[in-house]
Chain A
Amino acid sequence: DAGVTQSPTHLIKTRGQQVTLRCSPKSGHDTVSWYQQALGQGPQFIFQYYEEEERQRGNFPDRFSGHQFPNYSSELNVNALLLGDSALYLCASTYPKQGSPLHFGNGTRLTVT
Chain B
Amino acid sequence: DQQVKQNSPSLSVQEGRISILNCDYTNSMFDYFLWYKKYPAEGPTFLISISSIKDKNEDGRFTVFLNKSAKHLSLHIVPSQPGDSAVYFCAARPGAQKLVFGQGTRLTINP
* Co-complex (A, B): no
